[in-house]
Amino acid sequence: MQVAIVSDIHGNRHAFEAVLEDVSRTEARELWCLGDVVGYGADPNDCCALVREHAALCLAGNHDLAVTGELPLDDFSRGAELAARWTQEVLDGHHRDWLATLRPQDAEDGIGLFHASPRDPVWEYVLSALLAELCFDAAPQPLLLIGHSHVALSFVRAEGEPATGRARREGDREALGAARWLVNPGSVGQPRDGDARAAWLMLDTTAGTIEWRRTEYDVAGAAAAIRAARLPDSLAERLQYGQ
């Protein structure tokens, strides 16, 4: 079965709609979301509605947990805090109630799913081979899917060897084989790897392959929506740089 994996949508309707259109042209049977449906962007209601319509499963990210009140806002940067407070004001009650049902980790078909990491599903940024080693030791599944860092990457650990990792670009493809993998699709709504395009992942559970994808979207429209909502300008400005 082919599954489209997305993470860190962050209220960016323009990016998520473009990804959904791309996914519709593939043979993906399901869509899984690794969390942060809301966050920095100006369309949290639309993004919640789209995830609820299209995703077979969805995790809670730290920004989702902030909006529902499960995390204190003073744990966040100033820009993230302001965006969370604004989202709390504009988010429809039924979407808030839905977000409150989500949890930051799950498992599906023997695959470990975590917003941030197996060791800390809410907050840990896995950006080094050392942390990947610790994550492999903390979860039993051969394939671990994570989000949170907004960087498309992977770590692999073959039997008896140390973990190694690298950033991933559009079209990178791997056969999973007998090794263990920890994989991040990157961010739909606010990539931070220097590529402004929305990032996502295609997983083929039958063939045992993964492929990183990128999708062009209306970056200017997403930035204009952020400015129209009077959210911090830095949240709009960074989109064009993929930072």
Are the CB atoms for 87 and 79 separated by under 8 Å?
A: no
Give the total number of structural domains in the chain: 1
Residue 206 makes CB contacts below 8 A (sequence gap 6+) with 1, 2
- Mean per-residue pLDDT, 175-182: 96
Other beta carbons within 10 Å of 193: 20
Distance from chain centroid for Cα 109:
19
Query: Which tokens is 20 given?
Result: 């959904």
Question: CA-CA distance, 9 to 172, in Å (whole number)?
Answer: 21
Q: Is the dihedral of CA 64, 78, 191, 20 positive or negative?
A: positive
The pTM assigned to this predicted structure is: 0.97
Task: With both helix axes pointing from N to C terminus, report the angle between 44-54 and 78-90 in degrees, rounded to the nearest 10.
Answer: 70
In the sheet with 57-58, reading across from the earlier edge strand, the strands are 57-58, 30-33, 2-6, 198-204, 209-215, 173-175
What single letter denotes the amino acid at residue 121?
P
Query: Which tokens is 76 given?
Result: 């966040």
pLDDT tens digits, one per residue of 59-118:
999 999 999 999 999 999 999 999 999 999 999 999 999 999 999 999 998 899 999 999
Q: So what's the pLDDT on residue 225? A: 98
- Mean per-residue pLDDT, 190-213: 98
Reference 192, options 163, 167, 229; nearest CA is 167
Q: So what's the pLDDT on residue 77? A: 93
Chain position carrying tokens 């009077």: 230
> In this structure, what DSSP letter does residue 239 have?
G
- Mean per-residue pLDDT, 172-187: 97
Q: So what's the pLDDT on residue 39? A: 97
Other beta carbons within 10 Å of 215: 19
- Mean per-residue pLDDT, 137-157: 98
Supply the range of the domain harboring residue 163.
2-241
CATH of the domain at 192: 3.60.21.10
CA angle 48, 52, 54 (to 5 degrees): 115
Q: So what's the pLDDT on residue 128? A: 97
